[in-house]
Amino acid sequence: MVCYRCGCQLSEQDFCTSCGADVSLYKKILGLSNYYYNEGLGKAKVRDLTGAIDSLEQSLEFNSRNVEARNLLGLVYYEIGECTEAMSEWILSMNVEPKKNIASDYIQRIQNNPSRYDVIRQTMKKYNQALAYCEQGSKDLAIIQLKKVLSLSPRFVKAHLLLALLYMDNEDWEKARRELNKTLGIDKSNTQALLYLQEVDKMLAPDEIEKNDRKHKKEETVRYQSDNEVIIQPSNLADGTRSGFSTVLNIIIGLVIGAAAMYFLVLPANKREAQNEAQERVESIAGQLDSKTNQIQQLENQVATLEKAKEQLELDLDAYEGTEGKLREMDQLFVAASVYLSTKDVGQTAELLDSVRENVRIEDASEEFQGLYNALLALIGPELAKTYHEAGYVSFRNEDFPAAIENFLRAVYYDPNNAEALLDLGNAYRRNGDAVNAVTIYNRVIELFPDTDLARKAGQWLHDYNEGDTE
């Protein structure tokens, strides 16, 4: 302790031994400051941090240069999460005592840890934001923000208190109580927390009263008078004489009830479970069976389709390779062409073409087949027609009209432009008594070869036929 006037060290005397100034009052003031510092230290040791803050602020009211008190105040602020307040106090302390001051160590510890520094900055910002949300009425947002704050700084008492207040406003009493208990774990005499907790306890009290009542009922006693004495006996105290028998009886009753429960509840349940399992298994197997059946059906269908295709192919093959197949007709047509080209024998060629025509429908044959057939027919047709016409004429003269009709038909077939053969065919039909075909043929002559003598003859025959018919 130094003299406020000359700065010399003071002794036990009430005056300065150096300048003679009266320091009695000054000493008392500094003494009070130290007293409050000690009180604050004592409270801080037992975690009465609110009380410690009050005492230390009181100490600094008396002597603002009390470095120890200021450093401790900073430490207490730091403990309750008020990091910026703590740093302010330590910086002020450093101004008073720049050398050998533990405050410099505290400040350096924070400043040398950038992540910690950032956490402090974020905590304060978010807390202020939460407070702003509260003032705006956005309580849900405030709760979310305060939860973030507490995840950053779990010892921030003000955040715990504000969160508890919000929970209380939401009538979420259990959560509020949890937050308040956390607060009191940090600062055990926080008056605000104690006040809120009192309110929370009051709101939760009805449950506790019920519990107490139940407890009380359990502990009810039986009172009875024996002579002049009142005997108080707990109701749940067992009767010694009956205890053995009643215990056995209770055990037997319990066993009976247990067996009955087993019979009526457990066994049916097990049976039902087993039935369900069996049912599920049967359904599963039935499902598998259905799918297998479907597969078999599909495979059978495939087999049938393939067999049909096979039969068709075999038929096609037979048609191509068989004795009456197309290949044979093709061969016959080639043979006919070959015979005509090598020998110019119209008769043999005609026989071969007739054979082809008997076995094949020319209209259904391929274009190439039809082309070759028609070409051969055009080459041999007129000559062949002439031959058949002559043969027919001979038969007509011999009055063998069916043979004549056959020959004339062939002549007309091989040479459709042979008008005489066509007219002779009509005559042969007429002489054979087939008037219908005769009329048809005469009409064809008139139609195909008009303004010819043959057409006039046909017309004359038709005229005569019509007159004879009317007569």
Partner 1 sequence: MINFEEELKKFHPSTEVEEIQDCIYNHNATDIAGVFEQMFAHKEEMQQMQQMQMQAEQEMMGG
- 450 φψ region: left (φ > 0), alpha (ψ -120 to 50), beta (else): beta
Nearer to partner 1, 63 or 407 (CB): 63
Which of the residues 160 through 179 are near partner 1 (CB under 8 A)? Answer: 161-162, 165, 168-169
Interface with partner 1, residue 199, by CB under 8 A:
yes
Q: Which stretch binds partner 1 (CB under 8 A): 194-202, 224-232, 300-308, 439-447?
A: 194-202
Nearer to partner 1, 61 or 307 (CB): 61
Minimum Å distance from CB 214 to partner 1? Answer: 28
Nearer to partner 1, 133 or 393 (CB): 133
Which of the residues 8 through 67 are near partner 1 (CB under 8 A)? Answer: 21, 25-26, 29-30, 32-33, 60-65
Q: At residue 24, what is the residue type?
A: S
d(CA 376, CA 430): 33
Place of tokens 């004359």: 460
Q: Which stretch binds partner 1 (CB under 8 A): 157-165, 327-335, 343-351, 422-430?
A: 157-165
Q: Which stretch binds partner 1 (CB under 8 A): 113-121, 248-256, 282-290, 404-412?
A: 113-121
Q: Which stretch binds partner 1 (CB under 8 A): 39-47, 121-129, 268-276, 444-452?
A: 121-129
d(CA 301, CA 294): 11
Minimum Å distance from CB 250 to partner 1? Answer: 51
Give the residue, chosen from 10, 73, 80, 87, that forms a contact with partner 1 under the rule CB under 8 A.
87
Task: Say if CB 89 and CB 74 are below 8 A apart.
Answer: yes
- Residue 409, Cβ density class (10 Å: 0-12 exposed, 13-18 middle, ≥19 buried): middle
Place of tokens 């807390």: 127
Give the residue, chosen from 88, 189, 437, 452, that forms a contact with partner 1 under the rule CB under 8 A.
88
Exposure string over 335-352, b if 16+ CB within 10 A, otherwise e = ebbebbeeeeebeebbeb
Minimum Å distance from CB 210 to partner 1? Answer: 22
Q: At residue 470, what is the residue type?
A: T
Which of the residues 227 through 256 are near partner 1 (CB under 8 A)? Answer: none
Count of residues interacting with partner 1 (CB under 8 A): 42
Contact pattern from residue 89 through residue 108 relative to partner 1, giving x for each residue in contact according to CB under 8 A and a dash for the rest? --xx----------------
Which residues of the shown chain bind partner 1 in the complex (CB under 8 A)?
4-5, 21, 25-26, 29-30, 32-33, 60-65, 82, 84-85, 87-88, 91-92, 117, 120-121, 124-125, 127-128, 131, 134-135, 158, 161-162, 165, 168-169, 192, 195-196, 199
